[in-house]
Structure 1
């Protein structure tokens, strides 16, 4: 979604620096989605495949983010390589922060989604109150640049939480899950063409590219039997990283996305206030329709189970015990989870804390890999066991592990797995 232009007056605090962000062109959205995808896949590869662990991976990328952001802030103008490197690292970091809340702190995705939405609204509110603009065409002062990057970090965290919450509610496979954010972005493009506000449309689309890119990454990486292409996280990361580098080289050479003017002379999109208010109603209708779709998708697995077992709707939605949840999944898959859990407990009892922590990572990977096939069978059963597995992961990966707590969590999970 490229933006139109109108002249804006100078403000006293504009420092006359060149704009530090790129113009919003088709290339902007292409590379943004690529960055999101490689961020998701690369984080999964380090966290799970290499067994670094969620907390350690988060600490590593927080340090990398500090370095990348410092580099970006020191540059006097927009430099494609530096800018997009910062976006990639922010994508990974925002994702990890959400995963910590979900996996380590057991914060429900509905809660984290709501909290991040409120935080993002607060960032935009303070930004606008201080600078009187949220336009990316005026990132020419240090405060505006800091607000910009803070907003981007929160959008990645919010996009991760809402994307994961959608998968939790619906149980969609990666290939299907891609369609929702893609359709919503298409509706925003339509809304913008009909006169919706430029700034609102930009930030809505920016948030939605996060679940779109993540779902694309899952689709490429997931095994073919789970509805994916089976490339794995490592290959997916390399493929998308190569695409990012090629795009950055093109932008560096062509300079097609450089905003040459500074904040005192650049012109920014002028809209029709009446039409923008009307289009707010359009976006509200899209939001209501999306909520209705998610509610319907969430109800379908329970309705299917009720039809198969002859239960009433009320019985189908009754809480499941972990033992009941296990019986709803293929025995071979349950046996795989049980084997990893048993071996982890054995290592723990033998005093091999490091070995147990590493081995439990295999359970996390196996559970995540099977989510696209298990969750659609029964979303309620999947959520029950997912909660127990999260408790086990949290017990083993805490900075100060307690063996009694670890053994209790593992034993409870083993009981559920039969």
Structure 2
């Protein structure tokens, strides 16, 4: 009788649904992601320059907040909007700070950072695929997959900061032109997906990577002084503006639809 009960419980557990720990890819997802990457650029500058904390102190403080947010994220068995997007905003800030430290404090060029983070990102994708045989974000239901996921996100943000600054400042294209160039590239990826059946996973990650430098360019466009090629809103107003947008979209998502997604069914 005991064995029968144990088998029954085991069967129920085996059939229990397993939830994806990251959101569905929707228009809302891309909107809030773009807002988050823009905040990452401006908030890092606000903390570093406006509050006078300096790059080292800002990096330590924000890395601590990021670690706490990721620990909270890893305790969840499914996607929880405010926890997930808090982690995204913080990892966007930290990714920016990593690049800023390499360039401003350690003397690496924007070209070297762009190449280095591209290699690191490619190596992360290779390791992820080697262990998991997939790069799909629809099956992030184990701790190891989530580690690969967040490490990938970190490198996309650090790379995007370097690539955005390289195009806008290093090559002299300007913030608006750089942002529009990346927007056109994302448009080409979208067209390739819908019109020419580009692989969905590849299309997602390409678009995800290039939204970061686009957001960084537009963030600098809003926050930098007019004589530096920006609109002169400053990092404080720009950060608050986009943070407010993030909060509004999260509330909208929470009230209007459920982005919880079943990753798979065990058994």
TM-score, length of structure 1 as denominator length: 0.58
Residues 276-327 of structure 1, C-alpha deviation per residue, up to 9 Å, x if partnerless?
xxxxxxxxxxxxxxxxxxxxxxxxxxxxxxxxxxxxxxxxxxxxxxxxxxxx
Match of 1:246 in 2: 248
Q: For residues 140-179 of structure 1, what are the structure 2 equivalents within 5 Å?
A: 140-179=141-180
Match of 1:201 in 2: 203
C-alpha contact 1:128 1:134 (8 A) present in aligned 2? yes
RMSD: 1.8
Q: For residues 369-408 of structure 1, what are the structure 2 equivalents within 5 Å?
A: none
**Residues in 2 aligned to 1:16 and 1:258: alpha-carbon distance in whole angstroms:** 12
Match of 2:37 in 1: 36
How many angstroms does 1:262 deviate by?
A: 2.9
Match of 1:85 in 2: 86
**Residues in 2 aligned to 1:74 and 1:253: alpha-carbon distance in whole angstroms:** 24
Matched residue SS, 1:106 = coil
Residues 38-57 of structure 1, C-alpha deviation per residue, up to 9 Å, x if partnerless?
11111101101111101111
**Corresponding pairs, count:** 252
Match of 2:122 in 1: 121
C-alpha contact 1:16 1:140 (8 A) present in aligned 2? no
Task: Return closer, same or farther for 1:227/1:166 CA change in 2, 3 Å cut-off.
Answer: closer
Residues 26-80 of structure 1, C-alpha deviation per residue, up to 9 Å, x if partnerless?
1111000000111111110110111110111111111011000001111121011
Task: Confirm whether residue 210 of structure 1 aligns to residue 212 of structure 2.
Answer: yes
Task: Return closer, same or farther for 1:95/1:129 CA change in 2, 3 Å cut-off.
Answer: same
Task: Return closer, same or farther for 1:165/1:227 CA change in 2, 3 Å cut-off.
Answer: closer
Q: Which runs of 5+ in 1 are unaligned?
A: 1-14, 266-418
Match of 1:258 in 2: 260
* Larger relative contact order (CA 8 Å, sep ≥ 6): 2
Match of 1:231 in 2: 233
Q: Quick check: which has more Rg, 1 or 2?
A: 1
Q: Which runs of 5+ in 2 are unaligned?
A: 1-15
How many angstroms does 1:247 deviate by?
A: 0.2
**Residues in 1 aligned to 2:209 and 2:22: alpha-carbon distance in whole angstroms:** 17
Matched residue SS, 2:64 = helix
**Residues in 1 aligned to 2:231 and 2:224: alpha-carbon distance in whole angstroms:** 6
How many angstroms does 1:263 deviate by?
A: 2.1
C-alpha contact 1:120 1:151 (8 A) present in aligned 2? yes
Task: Return closer, same or farther for 1:114/1:224 CA change in 2, 3 Å cut-off.
Answer: closer
Matched residue SS, 2:127 = helix
How many angstroms does 1:257 deviate by?
A: 2.8
How many angstroms does 1:203 deviate by?
A: 0.8
C-alpha contact 2:118 2:159 (8 A) present in aligned 1? yes
TM-score, length of structure 2 as denominator length: 0.90
